[in-house]
């Protein structure tokens, strides 16, 4: 399939590129490199031995984006591009609303103009906020608690309305749980800017000595060991979910939402202990207060994706920790500049 991928130089995009190229899809990537490096694209080419077209363009630059649609035709768009740091979105809400929503509106305008009506969109479990119970199904109430999460929900609504107005559109919304891990080659992985916000990159940077210790945000949650429980999913499983989503498009699914998670919850201590096992490094930690906006427990019911996409996560917590360590240990400072 001829695919336009936005945000393809990023963490999830680069892993999805590997899976798509391995299946011989023809890809054009658009990314402004605001949160990624071109090195990830070079390494995707090394891993797969395949080529792709890369355009350094901001989705907010509609003229630049239009050229990408003029130069080539596409059968589907996979839309990863967006800013994703929760704390930064609270500090800079306008930046988040502008970048994520204007970028998506520009993309959809060009898709309409050039008759590309299939899109797979990266949403997040963050749209569920603090769930009333677990596991979470796709019909749970939406409750966004920060501008980042709100941008995801607004984009879901924009795509839904576009599909209602023109039923020849197919919109697959994938709500990711907590992506972690890296490609088994150790050549690509997560390379956050500055001090990581998320648990797994924080642990792995402590392991390689870039950070002195982990802060555990609370051990007084009503969970098995008092720490927060999340549904960590290997990024390669997540990437494969996009292949299954593409397979669904010819069946004209209309507008559909799918949770992509494993259905299993692990605590912060589970993550630390398993990471120590694979890295053979002690992860020193301090218990500190709860982080604002954090919830006790969050994990998916991935049954709908299993039934309707034929997808399920295959890799386990050992795979996630082993591959994260392999990436971080081979690239202690992430991608070179
Ligand atoms: P990432 O930051 O590594 O990748 C996003 C890419 O989009 C980056 O390469 C960035 O340079 C690019 N980008 C941002 N704004 C752009 C713009 N205006 N124009 C062009 N390119 C732009 O993030 P990721 O972890 O790979 O996440 C991919 C998508 O999945 C994002 O939409 C994110 O919100 C969503 N998501 C991520 C997670 C997670 O934990 N990583 C969880 C749920 C959902
Ligand atoms: C965070 C975001 C969420 C986003 C998700 C995936 C917040 C409040 N939420 O969720 O919107 O969709 O990432 O990108 O930022 N933890 C520590 N120490 C750390 C980091 C995390 O103890 O240094 C704990 C957290 O309290 C939590 C667990 O580890 O219990 C996972 O945290 P994290 O990786 O940030 O993911 P989420 O909290 O699920």
Give this prediction's pTM: 0.98
Q: Is the dihedral of CA 294, 299, 301, 305 positive or negative?
A: positive
Mean pLDDT, rounded, for 119-147: 97
Is the C-beta atom of 35 inside 6 A of ligand 1?
yes
Task: Answer whether residue 334 shows pLDDT above 90.
Answer: yes
Mean pLDDT, rounded, for 51-56: 98
Task: Answer whether residue 234 shows pLDDT above 90.
Answer: yes
337 band by pLDDT with thresholds 50, 70 and 90: confident
Return the DSSP state at 85. Answer: -
Closest CA to 302 of 127, 138, 124: 138
Q: How far is CA 303 from CA 149, 232, 261, 300, in A?
A: 23, 16, 10, 9
Q: What percent of the chain has pLDDT over 90?
A: 99
What are the tens digits of pLDDT across the range 80-96? 999 999 999 999 999 99
Task: Answer whether residue 20 shows pLDDT above 90.
Answer: yes
| Catalytic (active site) residue 335 | no
Judged by its nearest atom, the ligand closest to the C-alpha of residue 155 is 1
The pLDDT of residue 160: 98
CA 9 – ligand 1 centroid, Å: 9
Mean pLDDT, rounded, for 22-36: 98
Distance between CA atoms of 47 and 45, rounded to whole angstroms?
Answer: 6
What are the tens digits of pLDDT across the range 167-225? 999 999 999 999 999 999 999 999 999 999 999 999 999 999 999 999 999 999 999 99
Task: Answer whether residue 166 shows pLDDT above 90.
Answer: yes
Q: What percent of the chain has pLDDT over 70?
A: 100
CA 83 – ligand 1 centroid, Å: 6
Task: Answer whether residue 233 shows pLDDT above 90.
Answer: yes
Q: Is the distance from CB of 19 to CB of 240 less than 8 angstroms?
A: yes
Mean pLDDT, rounded, for 15-27: 98
CA 160 and chain centroid, separation: 20
Pocket of ligand 2 (CB under 6 A): 86, 124-126, 149, 178, 197-199, 202, 214-217, 228, 230, 268, 291, 293-294
**Which three-class secondary structure string do you get for 258-289?**
EEECCCCCEEHHHHHHHHHHHHCCCCCEEEEC
What are the tens digits of pLDDT across the range 241-297? 999 999 999 999 999 999 999 999 999 999 999 999 999 999 999 999 999 989 999
Closest CA to 82 of 19, 17, 31, 38: 31
CA 279 – ligand 1 centroid, Å: 27
| Ligand 1 atom showing the smallest separation from residue 13 Cα | 26
| Ligand 2 atom showing the smallest separation from residue 217 Cα | 22
The pLDDT of residue 326: 98
Strand boundaries in the chain, DSSP class E:
2-6, 26-31, 53-56, 76-79, 118-124, 170-176, 178-180, 214-217, 229-230, 232-234, 255-260, 266-267, 285-288, 297-298
Mean pLDDT, rounded, for 23-47: 98
Mean pLDDT, rounded, for 36-42: 98
Q: Is the dihedral of CA 12, 10, 47, 278 positive or negative?
A: negative
CA 197 – ligand 2 centroid, Å: 7
Burial class (CB in 10 A: 0-12, 13-18, 19+), 64: middle
């Amino acid at each position: 399939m001829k695919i336009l991928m936005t945000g393809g130089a990023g963490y999830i995009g680069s892993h999805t590129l590997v899976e798509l190229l391995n299946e011989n899809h023809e890809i054009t990537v658009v990314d402004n490199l605001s949160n990624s490096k071109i090195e990830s694209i070079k390494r995707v080419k090394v891993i797969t031995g395949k080529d792709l077209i890369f355009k350094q363009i901001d989705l907010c630059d509609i003229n630049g984006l239009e050229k990408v649609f003029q130069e080539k035709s596409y059968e589907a768009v996979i839309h990863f591009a967006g800013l994703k740091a929760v704390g930064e979105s609270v500090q800079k809400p306008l930046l988040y609303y502008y970048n994520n929503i204007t970028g998506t509106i520009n993309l959809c305008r060009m898709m309409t103009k050039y008759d590309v009506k299939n899109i797979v969109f990266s949403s997040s479990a963050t749209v569920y906020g603090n769930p009333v119970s677990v596991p979470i199904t796709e019909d749970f109430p939406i409750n966004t608690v920060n501008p980042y999460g709100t941008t995801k929900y607004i984009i879901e609504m924009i795509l839904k309305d576009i599909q209602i107005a023109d039923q020849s559109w197919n919109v697959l919304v994938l709500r990711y749980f907590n992506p972690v891990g890296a490609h088994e080659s150790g050549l690509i992985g997560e390379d956050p800017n500055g001090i990581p916000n998320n648990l797994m990159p924080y642990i792995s940077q402590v392991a390689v000595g870039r950070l002195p210790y982990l802060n555990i945000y609370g051990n007084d949650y009503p969970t098995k060991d008092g720490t927060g429980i999340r549904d960590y999913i290997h990024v390669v499983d997540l990437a494969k979910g996009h292949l299954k989503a593409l397979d669904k498009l010819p069946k004209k699914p209309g507008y559909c939402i799918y949770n992509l998670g494993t259905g299993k919850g692990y605590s912060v201590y589970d993550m630390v202990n398993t990471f120590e096992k694979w890295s053979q490094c002690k992860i020193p930690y301090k218990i500190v207060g709860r982080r604002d906006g954090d919830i006790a427990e969050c994990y998916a019911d991935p049954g709908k994706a299993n039934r309707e996409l034929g997808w399920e996560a295959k890799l386990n917590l050992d795979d996630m920790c082993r591959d994260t360590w392999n990436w971080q240990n081979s690239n202690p400072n992430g991608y070179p500049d």
